[in-house]
Amino acid sequence: MTKNTTGSLMRPTPLPESASHPVVTPLSPSVVYASDTPDMLDAQYEGDLHGYTYSREGHPNADVVAQAIDRMEGAPHMGVVTASGMAAVSAVLLGLTQAGDHVIGGNQLYGRSLRMMSEDLPRLGIETSMVDPGDVEAVRAAIRPETKLILVEVVSNPTLRVADILGLSALAKETGVLLVVDNTFTTPRAFRAFDHGADIVIHSITKLLAGHSDVMLGYVAARDQALNDRLRVFTVTAGMTPSPFDCWLAERGMLSFELRFDRAQSTAMQLADHLAGLAGVKRVIYPARHDHPDHHRAEALLKGHYCNMVSFEIEGDRAAANALARGAEGLRFAPTLGDVGTTISHPASSSHRALTAEKRAELGMSEGFFRVSVGLEDPSALCDVFTAAIQAATE
């Protein structure tokens, strides 16, 4: 570090010197980075010298988070961290398409992704089709000459169906269409999407990766270098850059990600079996259970890790649902997932409220349908809470 002899009028530079280094990644909120000379700045812009310039273009805290996820996903180039998971989805859907293109989406995508497919892309002249990602032949039938990409989630929300990723990746290769996998639910702990043929991987870091419900961030990376570069440039132009502090918190959260995930998914397995044995529970959905319609596919794809999400349905109407939420002592009734604490959500009043009751019934989401994001509580204490809540709801 060069010594500042003139002294900045406003800012003390350089920082106090230390021969030893901080163990924790420093937080770098600086919006701008000063280069020594125009020559140096030139070299930075030309890519001959690595150096940050303006934080919308990139900053160290974002890159630390990107590299941590790159390692977990086996991404071939440094991914891009964005200000939310939806920013990452938008970067792909808006940054890689143009009017006249066609895009296919899984029919049970995250609500906002579905909305972008049904409301925003058509407005821009991009046609979309929603197809069951478990049915490769249906996806094949939807492909047109102008189809650009297929966006799917591995495990769907909230019915936890498992996409036929191997079939889809073979189809994508055969037809030259990009396979984009939103790996938020499964995480690289359960599923490494690039290893299974994905061209682009998306995350909402907000959920399990950061894991403490105090950060909103996303991630996107492409296998192809040119596509990866285009995604980065688009996120910078569109201003999807994350806050350094959010990145700092996410890095901190991710240090315990694998431990949290393993604990939550083993508790999820116990809770699913426990729920299945309770009177008043009509059905339990968990991909590790043998009664799950996609159990064999889940077993083959997820290598015993599954996920921390369990859905179940009780007998009864909205009053029963209210009683269950009230009766689940200590658990938050909140429409998110991946927190350290278990959260319960109710699709009929949240994610799927826009649908008619008939449509929801068709999708298997009655008033008695709940989704649980299992957290880090003691497993048997958690099972007891559900026993009491379901008793309160169904008696």
Ligand X SMILES: *Cc1c(COP(=O)(O)O)cnc(C)c1O
Please say whether the dihedral angle defined by the alpha carbons of residues 217, 222, 228 and 234, taken in this order, is positive or negative.
Answer: negative
Nearer to ligand X, 179 or 390 (CB): 179
216 near ligand X, rule: CB under 6 A = yes
Burial letters for 318-332: b for 16+ Cβ neighbours within 10 Å, e otherwise? eebbbbbbebbeebb
In contact, 159 and 132? CB cutoff 8 Å: no
- CB-closest chain residue to ligand X: 85
86 near ligand X, rule: CB under 6 A = yes
Task: Let me know if 207 is a catalytic residue.
Answer: yes
Per-residue contact flags (x/-) with ligand X for residues 177 to 196, judged by CB under 6 A: -----x-xx-----------
Task: Let me know if 54 is a catalytic residue.
Answer: no
Question: Out of 58, 60, 79, 85, which residue is the one contacting ligand X (CB under 6 A)?
Answer: 85
Per-residue contact flags (x/-) with ligand X for residues 118 to 147, judged by CB under 6 A: ------------------------------
- Separation in Å, CA 198 to CA 73, 165, 172, 181, 230: 11, 8, 9, 6, 17
206 near ligand X, rule: CB under 6 A = yes
375 near ligand X, rule: CB under 6 A = no
Task: Let me know if 52 is a catalytic residue.
Answer: no
Task: Let me know if 173 is a catalytic residue.
Answer: no
Q: Which amino acid is at 245?
A: F
Q: In what order do the strands lie in the sheet with 281-285?
A: 281-285, 309-314, 369-373, 343-345, 332-333
343 near ligand X, rule: CB under 6 A = no
Residues with Cβ within 8 Å of 385's Cβ and at least 6 positions away in sequence, in order, are: 328, 329, 330, 331
**369 DSSP β-pair partners:** 313
Nearer to ligand X, 270 or 350 (CB): 350
Q: Which of 148, 161, 189, 207 is catalytic?
A: 207
261 near ligand X, rule: CB under 6 A = no
Nearer to ligand X, 84 or 128 (CB): 84
Nearer to ligand X, 192 or 274 (CB): 192
Which residues in the chain belong to E strands, given as ranges?
80-82, 102-106, 127-131, 147-153, 178-182, 200-204, 218-222, 281-285, 309-314, 332-333, 343-345, 369-373
Residues in binding contact with ligand X, number by CB under 6 A: 15
Minimum CB separation from ligand X for residue 317, in Å? Answer: 27
Which residue stretch of 78-86, 126-134, 219-227, 385-393 sits at the interface with ligand X (rule: CB under 6 A)?
78-86
Q: Which amino acid is at 116?
A: M
In contact, 200 and 180? CB cutoff 8 Å: yes
Which residue stretch of 79-87, 277-285, 352-360, 387-395 sits at the interface with ligand X (rule: CB under 6 A)?
79-87
Minimum CB separation from ligand X for residue 234, in Å? Answer: 17
371 near ligand X, rule: CB under 6 A = no
28 near ligand X, rule: CB under 6 A = no
Q: Which two tokens stand for residue 51?
A: 């150096």
How many other CB atoms are there within 10 angstroms of residue 17's CB atom? Answer: 7
Q: Which of 63, 101, 110, 164 is catalytic?
A: 110
DSSP state of 162: B
Question: Out of 84, 129, 228, 394, which residue is the one contacting ligand X (CB under 6 A)?
Answer: 84
Minimum CB separation from ligand X for residue 4, in Å? Answer: 40
d(CA 209, CA 184): 8
Instruction: Give the HSE-up count for residue 19: Cα atoms under 13 Å, Cβ half-sphere.
Output: 0
Nearer to ligand X, 85 or 133 (CB): 85
H or E element, residue 92: helix 85-95
Question: Known catalytic residues?
Answer: 56, 110, 182, 207
> Could you list the residues that contact ligand X (CB under 6 A)?
84-86, 89, 110, 113, 153, 182, 184-185, 204, 206-207, 216, 218
